Amino acid sequence: MHNKNLLLTAALVACAFASAPLALAQGVTGQDNEVRAVTTAVPILTVAPDARSAALGDAGVALSPDANAPFWNPAKLGFVENDMAVSFSYSPWLRNIVDDMSLSYLSGYKKLNETSALSVSLTYFDLGAIQFIDENRQPMQDYNPKEYAVSVAYGQALSENFSVGIGARFIHSNLAGNVNVSGASPSFESKPGNTAAVDVGVYYNKELNQQITLALAGNISNIGGKISYTNADQKDFLPTNLKLGTAVTYNLDAYNTLTFLVDANKLLVPSPGADSTQSVISGIFTSFGDAEGGMSEELQEVILSGGIEYWYNSLFAARLGYFYENPQKGDRKYLSLGVGLRYQKFGVDVAYLVPNERANPLAQTLRFTIGLTLD
């Protein structure tokens, strides 16, 4: 059991994944007023759930399709190879700080015909046991916050090289149950937040010659209604995210393959200091030019990730990746490593995160994925 102040817990949950732990600490203590991280509600929706992409620096929008394709880009479902596939991923979260937080992801698809497939997935985030205390540090109640999102997605190939996709999800975020916060001004009663969102994506894949294949992709995820956690007139944006990426695959010979990936991400929500009361659609369009620091600050909000994936005979994979976020926008920087094994219909992937700083709460983060394919 971990004692956590209610207001601090809400701030931590809201910011922990949208900005770096360092940025959060600096924002609380006031040590660095220049940190201007973009924060949203339910930021867990932007965290890579599967070990394959996690080992590639959280790059995956243009990666070859598998059972986890709906999270990265529903358009990739138009090019899945197997008739059916299912995957389960698990990660103990912030395990250097607490021992009861975890992120789980279950996803599967079924081909409808040679050019289309339908998928269903579940993201489940368990924040562990907490104890709420009042302004006098007296115990109020114990609680176990949880968040989940249930998604369906459809991908359709429109030609030999191009596909489109769309996804929809229901999001439930229960951070504090129905706790009455009387110490706040004004006082309010917390409540679970519920909303819905959609994704839209495109995917292009072409063999340039017998050795090289090029993939280009784009996806906008979590376009949905704002979410509210109180009975007050206050709603927060979802992490609507634009992801653009490319993947270049080299077939070195009949047994060895290398893939190089690069992704760029930008949250399509108001920058710090911009109007947070505007509509979701308005926030998407103004997010490209609303930063107080002008275009230089807008570019700082772009997160870069990339990786290299090596396959031997489609049986063994080794992966290396890097994730970079500007110091003024969160300062998350980490190296990722991973391996994968495939045997007949079964697959196992493992990823390990190595941050630039030892004290980073994300240090030693592990992700595990097991998969099954059927024809």
Residue 233, pLDDT score:
72
Instruction: Give the Cβ contact number of residue 3 at 10 Å.
Output: 10
Alpha carbons 116 and 343: distance in angstroms, whole number: 26
CA nearest to 42, candidates 124, 143, 163? 124
Residue 19, pLDDT score:
36
Alpha carbons 205 and 291: distance in angstroms, whole number: 35
Alpha helices in the chain (DSSP H): 6-15, 21-29, 51-54, 69-72, 280-286, 295-300
DSSP state of 218: E
Residue 180, pLDDT score:
65
Write the CATH number for 46.
Answer: 2.40.160.40
pLDDT above 50 for 302: yes
Q: Residues near 347 by Cβ (< 8 Å), separated by ≥ 6?
A: 340, 341, 369, 370, 371, 372, 373
Residue 361, pLDDT score:
77
Q: What is the mean pLDDT of residues 340-360?
A: 89
Q: What is the mean pLDDT of residues 141-147?
A: 85
Beta pairing, strands 2-3 & 130-133: parallel
Confidence band of 184 (pLDDT split at 50, 70, 90): low
Domain-located, residue 258: yes
pLDDT above 70 for 220: yes
Please answer whether residues 329 and 269 qualify as being in contact, where contact means their C-beta atoms are separated by less than 8 angstroms: no
Give tens-digit pLDDT for 100-126. 899 999 999 999 999 999 999 999 999
Alpha carbons 202 and 165: distance in angstroms, whole number: 6
Residue 36, pLDDT score:
85
Give kind and range of the element (H or E) at residue 131.
Answer: strand 130-133
> What value does the CA radius of gyration of the chain take, rounded to a whole number of Å?
21
Using alpha carbons, list the distances in angstroms from residue 12 to 63, 111, 119. Answer: 32, 40, 32
Q: What is the mean pLDDT of residues 52-57?
A: 96
Q: Residues near 23 by Cβ (< 8 Å), separated by ≥ 6?
A: 15, 35, 37, 329, 330, 331
Residue 185, pLDDT score:
52
pLDDT above 50 for 17: no
Residue 137, pLDDT score:
77
Domain-located, residue 4: no
Residue 70, pLDDT score:
94
* Higher pLDDT, residue 184 or 84: 84
Q: What angle do CA 78, 83, 87 make, to 5 degrees?
A: 90
Alpha carbons 88 and 72: distance in angstroms, whole number: 15
Please answer whether residues 209 and 220 qualify as being in contact, where contact means their C-beta atoms are separated by less than 8 angstroms: no
Alpha carbons 87 and 369: distance in angstroms, whole number: 7
**Does the CA dihedral 49-125-74-199 come out positive or negative?**
negative
CA nearest to 82, candidates 106, 65, 63, 60? 65
- Lowest pLDDT segment from 11-20, 71-80, 155-164, 298-307: 11-20
Confidence band of 96 (pLDDT split at 50, 70, 90): confident
Token representation of residue 337: 């490593």
Domain-located, residue 245: yes
Domain-located, residue 310: yes
Q: Residues near 295 by Cβ (< 8 Å), separated by ≥ 6?
A: 289
Residue 182, pLDDT score:
57
* Higher pLDDT, residue 24 or 314: 314
Domain-located, residue 282: yes
Give kind and range of the element (H or E) at residue 224.
Answer: strand 212-224
What percent of the chain shows pLDDT beyond 70?
87
Give tens-digit pLDDT for 156-174. 999 999 999 999 999 999 9
Q: What is the mean pLDDT of residues 305-320?
A: 97
Domain-located, residue 16: no
Instruction: Give the Cβ contact number of residue 253 at 10 Å.
Output: 7
Token representation of residue 264: 């760029």
Q: Residues near 58 by Cβ (< 8 Å), separated by ≥ 6?
A: 47, 48, 263, 305, 321, 323, 336
pTM (2 d.p.): 0.87
Task: Supply the mean pLDDT for the chain.
Answer: 87
**Range(s) of the domain holding residue 204:** 35-374
Q: Residues near 208 by Cβ (< 8 Å), separated by ≥ 6?
A: 214
Looking at the structure of the chain, the number of domains it has is 1
**Does the CA dihedral 355-358-359-365 come out positive or negative?**
positive
Domain-located, residue 115: yes
